[in-house]
Amino acid sequence: MKKIFLVAILSSIFCSAFFISANAQLTTTPSGGNKKAVVGERIGLTDVTIHYDRPGVKKRDGKIWGQLIPVGYTDQGFGNTKQAPWRAGANENTTIEFSTDVKIEGQSLAAGKYGFFVAYDPNECTLIFSKNSSSWGSFFYDPKEDVLRVKVKPVANDRSIEWLKYEFAHQTENSAIIELQWEKLIIPFKVETDLNNIQLETFRKELRSDKGFLWESWQQAAQWCVDNNTNLDEALLWADTSVSLNFGGDRSFQSWSTKAQVLNKLGRSAEADETMKKALPFGNEFEVNQYVRELISQKKSQEAFNTAKWNYDKHPGVFVATFGMARAYSALGNYKKALEFAQKAQPLATTPLGKSAAEKAIKTLQEGKDIN
């Protein structure tokens, strides 16, 4: 009985040791010297992240494309597929993840994480985004798991890249070209985001959070719509909230002026003018002066003068208000009075930029020309 018990114990110890040795893997550098890498950037408000392993050329110049990386789909002699594309890197799956919906080469792709594969061809490569992002390489590639395929033309590189890499290039506010670069070849593909709609959805979500208890948040959202000339009806609702008594925006020049800008965009100029009258008492000399300049640019010269006079009376002896009077008189064509105020403003300037502006205005007005 004791012998049986001893054998059972030894067997248990042997099995445990075998299990541990078979499954315990110490951390080492990747096989083949291929480097692990992750690269990501934000395109608009969309986070794009690529995880990949970086194979090296390793003195195989001229033997990478069409040889090491075969043309099209191949039988790799392992796994369950006879038609495998390249794994777009080395070792494990290359994956690419998008935090929002995007367009790849003009075709829609939902937010998510994808296995990324390439069927190489010297004339036109096929890029594959697969819902299977967890397999090892492309040994178990299944075309039924493809979510999107796009075709792109590879581009010759003027220098050799030793270690495969992905880069974000030719970036705009809402797009970028992602380039797979290795040896003397680049495989590029364009990623685009619907920035306007993503931004609006972000506003709607955040305005329902703790950020929605601040008038500044509502004003910021409304101002963004003005600056981008979009979503103006909802922007007016946001502006109304920003000037409400609830959060203190009723005493903010910024919130009232934003509402006025929305109304102007909607073609309701009379209401916009009345709104700006509510804004003026809360503005400092710089904010009111900026409004004067906006009125001048809109050819509302008399209104600009009245506002500049109000600012000057409230802030006598201040450069920006005094110089604002010079601009307002100049807009009315009264260069004599404009020169008088420009000369008054000159000694009040406290910065090199202010002094330079006053000197230039004096010279221009002496020549009988408008300074605006």
Those residues whose C-beta lies under 8 Å from the C-beta of residue 131, and which sit 6 or more positions away, are 112, 114, 115, 145, 146, 147
258: tokens are 């934003």
Largest CA distance in the chain: 121
Average pLDDT, integer, range 260-278: 95
pLDDT digits (tens, 9 = 90+) for 274-301: 999 999 999 999 999 999 999 999 899 9
Please state, in angstroms and rounded to a whole number, the distance separating the CA atoms of residues 264 and 279. 15
Indicate whether 20 pLDDT > 80: no
Indicate whether 17 pLDDT > 80: no
Indicate whether 361 pLDDT > 90: yes
Strand (E) or helix (H) holding 291: helix 285-297
Q: Which domains, ranges and CATH numbers included, belong to the chain?
A: 31-193 (no CATH), 196-366 (1.25.40.10)
Nearest C-alpha neighbor of 150 from the set 182, 202, 192, 185: 192
Please state, in angstroms and rounded to a whole number, the distance separating the CA atoms of residues 204 and 206. 6
Answer yes or no: are the C-beta atoms of 176 and 195 closer than 8 Å: no
* Residue % of the chain over a pLDDT of 70: 91
Cα 303 → chain centroid: 39
pLDDT band at 1 (very low <50, low <70, confident <90, very high): very low
Cα 307 → chain centroid: 38
DSSP string, 295-359: HHHTT-HHHHHHHHHHHHHHSTT-HHHHHHHHHHHHHTT-HHHHHHHHHHHGGG--SHHHHHHHH
Measure the N-to-C terminal CA separation of the chain; round to a whole number of Å.
108
Q: Give me the residues paired with residue 126 across strands.
A: 119, 151
DSSP string, 214-225: SHHHHHHHHHHH
Answer yes or no: are the C-beta atoms of 178 and 186 closer than 8 Å: no
333: tokens are 């064509």
Any idea which residue has 């033997």 for tokens? 63
Cα 135 → chain centroid: 31
C-alpha atoms less than 13 angstroms from C-alpha of 312 in its C-beta half-sphere: 19
Average pLDDT, integer, range 60-66: 94
Report pLDDT for 78.
83
Report pLDDT for 367.
94
Those residues whose C-beta lies under 8 Å from the C-beta of residue 93, and which sit 6 or more positions away, are 87, 115, 116, 132, 133, 134, 135, 136, 137, 138
pLDDT digits (tens, 9 = 90+) for 113-141: 999 999 999 999 999 999 999 888 888 89
Report pLDDT for 22.
44
pLDDT band at 26 (very low <50, low <70, confident <90, very high): confident
pLDDT band at 12 (very low <50, low <70, confident <90, very high): very low
